[in-house]
């Protein structure tokens, strides 16, 4: 009998925890997702104009969390129509075949202070790889901000294939920088 009561209470606490988790929605207008590649050692910046972040997160309840980031790769902008057309092609992002990139994490751990690390899977150009995304968290009332940066090795996702895969002209590491403004979901 005691075992059944313990199981019931455990299930009930999980259900209550799920109900109490804070759902956040991205403020599209005030958020950005940028990247910096390198070309012959010089920075080559760009951004993704269309992306979405869905977050279930409460710093006091790290057991019940989820981060999902979807990126429309056709919105990639490096401030040049020629470059934008080139990176949409098969050797680079292959946007016709793989129009979206997705990062999904169900494991967010606290590092220190207001710093966290989302362990998850990045799906890009048909390839899934584990990746860690560090971020700072600043919450005020019904709004919050996530900020961070991380490095992605483009060759792990077959981006820049053929002659571009060596990293001699275009570096293999791409720095990703983000600021995501959020509001509590209604």
Residue in 134, 153, 144 with CA at minimum distance from that of residue 182: 144
Per-residue pLDDT, 63: 85
* Predicted TM-score (pTM) of this structure: 0.86
Q: Which domains does the chain have, with CATH numbers?
A: 22-184 (2.40.128.110)
Burial class for 178, CB neighbours closer than 10 Å (0-12, 13-18, 19+): buried
Confidence check: pLDDT of 2 > 80 = no
Q: How confident is the model over 82-133, as pLDDT tens digits?
A: 999 999 999 999 999 999 999 999 999 999 999 999 999 999 999 999 999 9
Spatial separation of the C-alpha atoms in residues 139 and 160, rounded to whole Å? 38
Per-residue pLDDT, 16: 41
Could you give the percent of the chain with pLDDT greater than 70?
89
**35 C-beta neighbours (distance < 10 Å), count:** 19
Alpha helices in the chain (DSSP H): 2-20, 81-87
Per-residue pLDDT, 4: 54
Residue in 133, 64, 70, 74 with CA at minimum distance from that of residue 102: 70
């Amino acid at each position: 009998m005691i075992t059944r009561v313990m199981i019931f209470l455990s299930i009930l606490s999980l259900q209550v925890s799920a109900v109490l988790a804070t759902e956040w929605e991205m403020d599209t207008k005030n958020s950005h997702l940028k990247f910096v590649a390198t070309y012959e050692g010089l920075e080559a910046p760009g951004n993704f104009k269309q992306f979405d972040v869905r977050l279930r997160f409460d710093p006091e309840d790290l057991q019940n969390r989820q981060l999902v980031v979807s990126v429309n790769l056709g919105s990639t902008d490096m401030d040049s129509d020629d470059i934008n057309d080139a990176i949409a092609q098969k050797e680079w992002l292959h946007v016709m075949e793989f129009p979206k990139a997705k990062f999904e994490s169900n494991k967010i751990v606290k590092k220190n202070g207001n710093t966290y690390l989302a362990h998850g899977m990045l799906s890009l150009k048909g390839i899934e790889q584990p990746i860690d995304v560090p971020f700072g968290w600043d919450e005020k009332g019904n709004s919050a901000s996530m900020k961070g940066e991380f490095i992605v090795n483009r060759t792990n996702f077959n981006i820049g294939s053929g002659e571009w895969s060596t990293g001699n002209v275009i570096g293999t590491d791409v720095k990703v920088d983000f600021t995501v403004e959020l509001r509590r979901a209604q």
